[in-house]
Amino acid sequence: EANGIHAELEFRARCPAYSYAPIRCGSEGRLAIDQSYYSQAGVYTGTFRVGGRTFSRLQGLRARRWGVLRMQQLPFYHWISADLGDRCINAWQFESREGERLYCDGAITTEAGEVTKIVRLEHDWTAIPGCRRPSRVSPARPRSRSSMRRSASTCPDCGPSS
């Protein structure tokens, strides 16, 4: 119980885990990301105590990544993980500073086990010149297709992933 924090939690999946296609990408000849990743929404049974407050019946996400991730070298990216009743949305999209989509992957998964692949996130944002953050953002809207056909991603700077 370090720093007044104590947890005894067990994860129970609500929706299927989604494994993203491997990605290898960078810019200006520098590798920014070369990894595999999965995420899964669920509920935690047990208790989580911070100071004198105790929390239970928690909803959350478990995720795991393997490989290289240099956040400071990534171009602009979106990441969404939403737990919505009987379904979950997990997706990320990488873009150049000019707004060109470099990579998008994710899925809408349901408690019934359905998996619908997301092929792009649409958004409305205003870029700040020379900055990785926008000055204004409207929420991303996932676009999906029912086909689960997938292949490794490619990036104009790095080529196909391994």
Query: Which pLDDT score, from 0 to 100, does residue 110 have?
Result: 95
Closest CA to 35 of 105, 99, 88: 105
Query: What is the reported pTM?
Result: 0.72
Q: Which residue is it, tokens 């204004």?
A: 136
The DSSP secondary-structure symbol of 54 reads E
| Alpha-carbon span 91 to 61, nearest angstrom | 13
* Coil vs helix vs strand at 126: strand
Structure tokens at 9: 């939690």
pLDDT at 147 over 50: no
Model pLDDT for residues 85-143, shown as the tens digit of each residue: 889 999 988 887 777 888 889 999 999 999 999 988 887 777 667 666 667 766 656 66
- Residue 115 in contact with residue 109, Cβ under 8 Å? yes
If one counts every other C-beta atom within 10 angstroms of the C-beta of residue 57, the result is 9
Model pLDDT for residues 3-53, shown as the tens digit of each residue: 889 999 999 999 999 999 998 887 777 888 899 999 999 999 999 999 899
Closest CA to 108 of 121, 96, 118: 118
Beta bridge partners of 31: 26
| Alpha-carbon span 20 to 38, nearest angstrom | 6
